[in-house]
Structure 1
Amino acid sequence: MSTTVSRTQAELTNARARIVGTRDGFLADVIVLVVRSTSAAWRAVSGVARRIGSVVTPLGWALAVVAILGLTSGYVYGWLEAVVVGWSAVALLVVASGYLAGRNAYRVQLALPSNRVVVGEKAPGEVIVRNPVRRRLPGVRVEVPVGHGLAEFAAPSLAGGEEHSDVFLVPTTRRGIVPIGPVRTVRADPVGVVRREMVWAESLDLFVHPRTIAIPSMSTGFVRDLEGAPTRDLTASDIAFHALREYVPGDERRNIHWKSTAKTGSYMVRQFEETRRSHLLVALSLSSSDYGNDEEFELAVSAAGSLGVRAMLDSRTVSVVASARTPDFAKKIVHTVRRLSVVNRGRLLDDLASVELAPTALRLPELAQIAAEESTGISVAFLVCGSTVTATQLRASASHFPLGVDVVAVVCDEGAVPALRRVSDLSVLTIGYLEDLQKSLAKRLAT
């Protein structure tokens, strides 16, 4: 859901603002159109160049230039040496192109034992090369793109029906989604003039989840509701029946169980389990202005994940939202929030693995405003941000929630001493490490 916010263009920091500033008119639209068209044309030309460059190596291009210059200068000026050099380059190009002829009969498969790991854990991958034909096939070089890197393997010559496997480790030093593959085999000449790549397996995504920590069960933030879940608290008036007990003065007569009363000879009344509803909201700011550095942001993502996972373990209704960025060529700032999946723990951490900082993303007060408007029945709200958010901004963020909602701000300040303070009706938890979240929440529940 998107809602346009009435704010001045001077506040825009997207690509359009960098191109035309605050100008808005026909000329500005034409300039933006020219820039976008030029960028699209350049991407198309670059794509064609990449396809040609995927076959001809820089050495091959150099030989082609030598052949053209040698033959041209040799025949024009009568330089026999230049002619010899030119035809030698041509011969080398022709011989090298012969190595690209034919098809590669190998079958290559990419496998990941698990496509979800926690940051810092080992993530092994396996490449299996199989010979499906009867004749023996020569050795081949296998390449596996891993994120921005490349894993290379040399598969030996295989007889019919044989297979060869290699295991590699994917670096997981940072949270994110690491694309692995597609696996390709490379055929090239011995000199390295040309090479042809053949793609065999589809690309797989490895989800590197943020680190989470077990935190205490959040017992606050419950609202009495007949349609809620039963709790261990007993009451004389509800719908979740618990047991029978003897009548005491003050009990309502409508709760008397007459059949049991007739059997026991004394008045017996019904006792119920109190049903409560709890809707927990976790709002994660993605604005780069709300964080001092990347370490604070990674700490905030881990804190948001820990809160969401704990709420799921408590079987509570939970919503996790993050601020989305304004599109690059938008004329106005767009108020948007991104709702993360809360189907299960894995889906939530998958979405958290993909979140990134953005200078055009909504800041915490705006995120809190939209989250409060779009999420009804909230009983407790956690606002997760960095150390650059001021106390005034925290109070403004908390003011968007209705009375009765327990609002807690989790301020992530890498290496800071944990602290718990009150700002009006807002609880502010400052954490320097992820383990501080566990201690701070336990301290807050105790007080």
Structure 2
Amino acid sequence: MRATPPPAPRQRLTAVLTPLGWGTLAGSLALYAAGFALGYPEPVVLATGGLLALAAALAWTAPRPRLEVRREVTPLKVPRGDAAVAVLNVTNLGRRGLSGLRAQDRIGAAEHTVDLPRLPKGAVRTVSYPLPTDTRGEIPVGPLLLVRADPFGLTRRVRSYGSPVTLLVRPRTVALPVPPSGRAHHLEGPTSDNAPSGTVTFHTLREYVVGDDLRHVHWRSSARTGTLMVRQLIDASLPTTTVVLDTRDLTELAVDAAASVALAAATAGFPVRLVTGDGPVPDAKDPETVLDRLALVRADTGGVTEPMRLARGGGSLVLVTPDPAEAGRVAGVRRRFDRVICVYVGPGPVAVPGVTVLPIGSLDALPLAWGSR
């Protein structure tokens, strides 16, 4: 996935003195004062040299460079630990070559600096640099600043280009079969044509594709968006997978395991409910939104006992927790669900009567444990 943000209005700043430039100016004025006060010509000569250097530096950075600058982040959504890069393209549209260019891109709380080689007239320079993906969540990238400094580092001109973008680092996942629910019907996935009467319900809106029933067209949304939209219906009798993620002492292994389970059900077209210590996670209905929502989950102090008790019953309940006590409490709701599974990511063995407990120490161990349940 590649995204090129639309060019934003560029901020033009006049050439300004750097701290070294201000120091040179102050030193030159002090030398002038000392030279005239004491009657010595040497300080005056040194001060004149400093001021001439400042004048040359200002003349170097004062011309406004004509540049076309684009920074692309690809991909915009990436599993934790996978590669993501920023690609910077700079084109010199001016009549003369440019040197002393430096790009400064803010990535999260850090700043990444890239020194650009000399740009002859009409030349294009492309540089890329990796983006950090070790931490799950949103990572703002930008604004991008292009700095042109003189060879002495006395002055510089700074301009911003483009708009900031957001890199979304999602949980890692592994492939799993659909969680068992104890119900054998409708294993082929949701349908709206052959579903038993009264079990079909609205799921979401999507764009029309050839072959869709025109009776399902949502005309109000189609008029508002300018694109033909249809109602996507699901068979409400399909078993729902409820994934409960214990967010106290949250670990990345727990989030990855919950994402893998929820993704398996959503990819197969079965209804999914996500629940954390803060309660149900809204709009986690399809594979993309499941990963997007779990990318933003953070640790909290609330347990999942109450959210789990209030969760709608039926289908499978999968609890992901590092807490043995929380794993024991899931037995209290097992009668409301067709199947209860606890993915335990904590230390030591855990056994809960009536509950299938899958202890794992790494995400790679989840498929094997899942297949042996």
Question: What TM-score, normalized by structure 2, do the two folds share?
Answer: 0.69
Alignment-derived partner of residue 392 in structure 1: 325
Give the partner amino acid of 1:362: T
Shift of 1:188: 0.9
Task: Choose from 287, 307, 314 the match for 2:261.
Answer: 307
Identify the match of residue 339 of structure 1 among 258, 261, 281: 281
Tell me, what secondary structure is at the counterpart of 2:301? coil
Aligned partner of residue 183 in structure 1, secondary structure: strand
Residue aligning to 1:183: 144
Structure 1 counterpart SS, 2:65? coil
Cα drift, residue 303 of structure 1: 0.6
SS in 1 for 2:351: strand
| Pairing 1:382–2:318 present | yes
339, 342, 345: which one aligns with 1:409: 342
Partner of 1:230: 186
Partners of 2:76 and 2:166 within 8 A in 1: yes
What SS is found at the alignment partner of 1:121? coil
Which shifted more, 348-357 or 101-110?
348-357
SS for the counterpart of 1:277 is coil
Q: Are residues 57 and 344 of structure 1, via their aligned partners in 2, closer, same or farther at CA, if it must alter by over 3 Å?
A: farther
Q: Which amino acid aligns with 2:301?
A: L
Match of 1:152 among 114, 136, 143: 114
Map of 2:364 onto structure 1: 435
CA distance in 2, matches of 1:397, 1:76: 87
2:275 matches 1:321? yes
Q: How many residue pairs are counted as aligned between the two chains?
A: 315
What is the RMSD computed on CA atoms of the aligned residues? 3.7
Q: Which amino acid aligns with 1:154?
A: L
Change (3 A) 1:115 1:425: same
Whole-angstrom distance in 1 between the partners of 2:314 and 2:41? 87
Matches within 5 A, 1:221-260: 222=183, 230-231=186-187, 240=196
Query: Partner of 1:253 in structure 2?
Result: none
Comparing 76-85 with 123-132, greater Cα deviation is found at: 76-85
Shift of 1:211: 1.8
Partner deviation per Cα, 1:101-126 (whole Å, 9 max, x = no partner): 23221111112343233333333432
Residues 273 and 280 in structure 2, CA contact (< 8 A), matched pair in contact too: no
Contact 1:285 1:362 survives alignment (8 Å): no
**1:259-278 to 2 correspondence within 5 Å?**
276-278=237-239
Amino acid of the residue matched to residue 178 of structure 2?
Answer: S
- Identify the structure with the greater helix proportion: 1
Structure 1 residue 171: Cα displacement: 4.4
Relative to structure 1, is the Cα distance of residues 95 and 397 closer, same or farther in structure 2, using a 3 angstrom cutoff? farther
1:104 aligns with 2:37: no
Name the structure 1 match of 2:91.
130
5 Å-filtered alignment, 1:8-47, equals none
The answer to whether 1:369 aligns with 2:369 is no
Contact 2:305 2:326 in 1 (8 A): no
Deviation at 1:190? 1.0
What is the distance in 2 between the residues matched to 1:155 and 1:378? Answer: 63
* Partner SS for 1:422: coil
Counterpart contact for 1:230–1:275, Cα < 8 Å: no
Question: Do the aligned residues in 1 keep the contact of 2:29 with 2:47 (CA within 8 Å)?
Answer: yes
Structure 1: tracts of 5 or more residues without a match? 1-51, 233-237, 242-273, 292-296, 324-335
Distance 1:57 1:369, change over 3 A: farther
| CA distance in 2 between partners of 1:397 and 1:92 (Å) | 75
Q: Which runs of 5+ in 2 are unaligned?
A: 1-12, 189-193, 198-234
| 1:108/1:183 contact within 8 Å kept | no
Label 1:154 to 1:392 Cα distance change in 2 as closer, same or farther (>3 A).
Answer: closer
Residue equivalent to 1:143: 103
CA distance in structure 2 between the partners assigned to 1:184 and 1:68 by the alignment: 32
1:213, CA displacement in angstroms? 0.6
State the structure with more CA Rg.
1
The percent of aligned pairs where both chains have the same amino acid is 25
TM-score, with structure 1 as normaliser: 0.59
Distance of aligned partners of 1:425 and 1:372 in 2 relative to their CA distance in 1, 3 Å threshold: same
Measure the CA separation in 2 of the matches of 1:89 and 1:282: 69
- The CA deviation at 1:199 is 1.3
- For residues 66-85 of structure 1, the aligned pairs below 5 Å read 66-67=27-28, 70=31
Deviation at 1:298, TM superposition (A): 1.6
The residue type paired with residue 354 of structure 1 is L
User: Could you say if the C-alpha distance between residues 65 and 352 of structure 1 is closer, same or farther in structure 2, counting changes exceeding 3 Å?
Assistant: farther
- For residues 214-266 of structure 1, the C-alpha deviation after alignment (integer angstroms, 9 at most, x for no partner) is 112212255x9xxxx7347xxxxx9749xxxxxxxxxxxxxxxxxxxxxxxxx
Tell me: CA distance 1:212–1:239, structure 2 relative to 1, closer, same or farther (3 Å). Answer: closer
- Return the offset for 1:437: 1.6
3-state SS, counterpart of residue 372 of structure 2: helix
Do the aligned partners of residues 55 and 240 (structure 1) sit closer, same or farther apart at CA in structure 2, a change above 3 Å counting? Answer: same
Contact 2:119-2:125 within 8 A present in 1 as well: no
Contact in 2 for aligned 1:124/1:170 (Cα 8 Å): yes
On the 8 A contact 1:140/1:157 being kept in 2, the answer is: no
Provide Cα deviations, 1:361-402, integer angstroms capped at 9, x if missing partner. 133x3x3413543x434533322233xx2x334334654x47
SS at match of 2:186: strand
Q: Deviations over 1:318-372 (max 9, x none)?
A: 122334xxxxxxxxxxxx4472652432332233333344xxx133x3x341354
Q: Say if 1:101 and 1:395 are closer, same or farther in 2 by CA, change over 3 A.
A: same
